[in-house]
Amino acid sequence: PSVSAASIIAKVSRDKFIKKLSKKFKNYGWETNCGYGTKKHLSALKKFGATHHHRKTFAPIHKI
């Protein structure tokens, strides 16, 4: 139960953080894709490049 609770808390915290980022970095569609590699997000990465918030281990970042 405590692991499940921690997972939920982490997700809620991450979602709040992503929501704040989406207001600052509007081109990436984070308000709807939550940072996942959707077509819109990948297209934005190609067009605008990565921010310092993008994970360097995210495979498409290596191609930029």
- Give the predicted TM-score (pTM) of the model: 0.73
Q: Work out the average pLDDT over 8-36.
A: 93
Domain ranges of the chain: 2-62
Answer yes or no: are the C-beta atoms of 27 and 42 closer than 8 Å. no
Q: How many Cα atoms are found within 13 Å in the side-chain-facing hemisphere of 63?
A: 8
- Residues in the chain, total: 64
15-27 mean pLDDT: 94
Are the C-beta atoms of 40 and 31 separated by less than 8 Å?
no
SS3 for 5-27 is HHHHHHHHHHHHHHHHHHHHCHH
